[in-house]
Structure 1
């Protein structure tokens, strides 16, 4: 059943954006319509004064000093769309493109952009009818707005370029008309209002954030299962330790790990007679590492929640004073910082998970058969899955280098400092896919480790539910077999959230 989300401009929750990313259909709160109409009327009044106003009757960027006559205003707006639709590369994923459209809809609806009601209504209708512009993902530096990708979105609205309908690319004009919609004729300022803004960067950053949230939860579960498989101690998760440090994420993470392991017969069997005094950091320091990642993701979430409810085009229209004020809200530095934080969290979650996989395959550390196979030598077991995890973690380390510290002047040095938010955010989905595979490998290794302990010992109730789920898709590894399908099946459990849901009614930490 299709879920619908009503956008109240300036007050859209993170949960609503998450729902849209997952497939919900957005619509606009009708209460926003008067402000949109009044903003468009203000543009007409400003034009009537005959004064040069940037983006309304002048050129753009370095050409802002060029005055445009009234007869050419419509052509001016169409030209900026066509000239700026210069993106390259693979198209945006459909769900991210739709999130971008919804973000732009909510921004325009705040009545500070000077667009016509018809423009907002067309964007809303395209979302409702499942019409998604084909938008090349490369070409934005994150200031002056995400110009190239948003230009491709806008080009589709005026009947140029391509639109995806049920996964099939059609000519934009044809797709609109088949859906009973007319291509848009842009009025004064409208092309600039649609092109300017941070919606491409923000949509990609939100997509990365929502994937990171699910992967964080899955990695907590696999981390607890690995601790049991390695017969590690739950003493490092004692609440008194974490209360003294006071970090909220650390306290919550430790509490979750305790709850995941509570009642484990595997853990109870090693409370006495085990000569190991302390576990390696990848087990013992999970609350500190994962808690820090949670705090970082929540900080990024707060930034993106603010950005997604803001207006970031230029100039901005203030209808109460009939003023058009030119500023720099299109600069995506907050989004760039948030994207870098998400990238760091994704990297570190995977890094510590890979160390747990490495521990489990090492018989000296885990006290389990080498490479988690009952017949090592004849079989290689989990030898190469650990190598795969290491490769993915190193790839994410390289991608986690901050994008926000880079800048390159554009537009003949008019736009001389840019945020690089676009590719900083765009890398997050591929990093998330890498992490999903790492967590999937840990899930398989931890379940295998628990199987090899034997003696009829069970883990805790939540972790036994996880083991049953894994074994319903992937049998215990007795002899070597084609491993890739096993990883694929486990990755599906991780990426879809099914793994995290398996521990219900235990509630895992979330962003909000």
Structure 2
């Protein structure tokens, strides 16, 4: 059971709920603060005091007064009018992450939402009612208005949801799950949709996958180093100690452990004096990405436990402040950075694939097939990798450098943070497929070595891959192999086999 209180959620707990469906409960100690903020909202309504989104309209309509008799209509109208998402829905994991993050933000007690409303959101998580939330349509300020509105539609018995594998109306899903729908009261509609939870959910899930890929990039490159009789002097700890970036030091250490006891690697001068950058500079390239991932993790975990609402209610001072905590710029820049960093991992991997298949660079049979001409071997596998990294270069253009005014220029700078998160997600997917192709190519290249002893960390990679993918003797349909190799990355089977043998790899 994961308790949420608005302060202690981290990436690991987020993944346990969003991916592994661990149940959630609202911490008892959070309820007092939640109720205090709710009491203040109700007092403002009763006294008809002017406060944005409580007794006024929204956006450009912030100067329109709303009577206490109209507050319920105001909040319902907000949700149904803002449900303007388009495109494919977010995945089940992404939708679960959105709900968890919104409930956690509300649990801090600065939003004025009722305890009952938060518990409805938690019940939906625990019972598997997953709103259909279109992934396009958010500017990332004022938060993820359109995506979060689609989430709230189901809470009020509207919209659509997936329940027990079936798509149905929100009303049907809530009824079948035994969850009572709610009637939104003062401030609640705004409190549920003013925030960065869609971009943060997508970004957090992407970060988790990126952290796995960061380790897998070391693993796949170690296998390539062996296939090309790479020089290990470049991974000497003395070299990296004089340029002490943590990611660089950790990557070099990972490579030394992976290649320990290998008879396929060489020392400088034995075959050649130095390797190409895509081999020699692995610690510097992968290390920079790992430093980025640590930065992204810090920012994501701050955002997970932040109040991204507007207005924010401070009960101690009897004060409601209208500000801009919903603005997604901190996440927009962060997820752009994540996408760029992961695109570089794939770039380096594709260059290593080229070195494996190109006989002028490898000394191995062209395209890793013995009967070149009759067979094409890994020729087009490299094409696919090249296409993926080229697509990544387009996707890596920052979303955060764009802005467009909205709400009659009241909201004249927006973050595009949700686009940044979605682009990073697509880059990570593409990169996992490039690494899968590198694993296949490197394992095939090893077949042409004299089957000398492999490294302590690379031997389980080769063995795990060969359990499901035999060596390529004659041409076969390779997209199936690419999918299989990539699945071994996605389900962490190769990573687990390696870490079981040599211990956890570092990021």
TM-score normalised according to structure 1 size: 0.97
Return the alpha-carbon distance in structure 1 between the equivalents of residues 449 and 26 of structure 2: 56
The equivalences for 1:11-22 within 5 A come to 11-22=8-19
Kindly indicate whether residue 154 of structure 2 is the aligned counterpart of residue 159 of structure 1: no
1:303 and 2:313 correspond: no
> Could you list the per-position Cα deviations for residues 105-135 of structure 1 after superposition, in whole angstroms to 9, with x for gaps in the alignment?
0000110000111101100100010001110
CA gap 1:324/1:211 in 2 versus in 1, 3 angstroms = same
Residue of structure 2 equivalent to 1:350: 346
Checking the alignment, whether the CA contact within 8 Å between 1:5 and 1:24 is kept in structure 2 is no
Mapping of 1:484-503 within 5 angstroms?
484-503=479-498
Instruction: Find the residue that maps to 1:98 and give its secondary structure.
Output: helix
1:141 match: secondary structure: coil
Correspondences of 1:316-327 after superposition (within 5 Å): 316-327=312-323
Structure 2 residue runs of 5 or longer lacking an equivalent are: none
The reply to whether residue 368 of structure 1 matches residue 364 of structure 2 is yes
- Distance in 2 separating the partners of 1:504 and 1:117: 44
Give the equivalent residue in structure 1 for 2:228. 230
Q: 1:508 to 1:398 in 2, by over 3 A?
A: farther
Looking at structure 2, the residues matched to 149 and 44 of structure 1 have their Cα atoms a distance apart, in angstroms, of 27
Provide the residue aligned with 1:359 in structure 2.
Answer: 355
The separation in 2 between residues aligned to 1:275 and 1:435, in whole angstroms, is 31
Identify the match of residue 113 of structure 1 among 107, 111, 121: 111
For 1:433 and 1:295, how far apart are their aligned partners in 2?
A: 20
SS of match in other structure, 2:320? strand
Deviations 1:58-81 (A, max 9, x none): 100000000011111100000000
1:276 aligns with 2:260: no
Q: CA deviation at 1:496?
A: 1.3
Q: Give the superposition deviation at 1:34.
A: 1.4
Output the CA distance in 1 between the equivalents of 2:318 and 2:267: 74
| Alignment check: 8 A CA contact 1:264 1:461 kept | yes
Query: Which of 28, 31, 38 is equivalent to 2:29?
Result: 31
Q: Deviations over 1:7-56 (max 9, x none)?
A: 23212122111222322333322221111111111111222332211100
TM-score, length basis structure 2: 0.97
Residues 62-71 or 494-503, more deviating:
494-503
SS in structure 1 at match of 2:458: helix
Match of 1:290 in 2: 286
CA distance in 1, matches of 2:231, 2:254: 15
Contact 1:46 / 1:323 at 8 angstroms: preserved in 2? no
Matches within 5 A, 1:167-186: 167-186=165-184
1:138-176 CA distance string (max 9 Å, x none): 100100110000000011100111111022111111211
Alignment-derived partner of residue 467 in structure 1: 462
Please state whether the residue corresponding to 1:504 is helix, strand or coil. Answer: helix
Q: What residue is the counterpart of 1:425 in the other structure?
A: 421
Corresponding residue number in structure 1 for 2:394: 398
CA distance in 2, matches of 1:75, 1:243: 64
State how far apart, in whole Å, the 2-side matches of 1:149 and 1:486 are. 36
8 Å CA contact 2:134, 2:147 repeated in 1:
yes
Question: Quick check: 1:216 aligned with 2:211?
Answer: no
Name the count of aligned residue pairs: 505
**Contact 2:48–2:67 (8 Å) recurs in 1:** no
Name the SS for the 1:396 alignment partner.
Answer: helix
Aligned to 1:240: 238
Whether the aligned pair in 1 keeps the contact of 2:366 and 2:372 (CA below 8 Å) is: yes
SS, match of residue 462 in structure 1: coil
Aligned partners of 1:278, 1:501: CA distance in 2, in Å? 32
How far residue 508 of structure 1 moved from its aligned partner, in angstroms, is: 4.4
Q: Partners of 2:422 and 2:165 in 1: how far apart?
A: 21
DSSP 3-state at the match of 1:265: coil
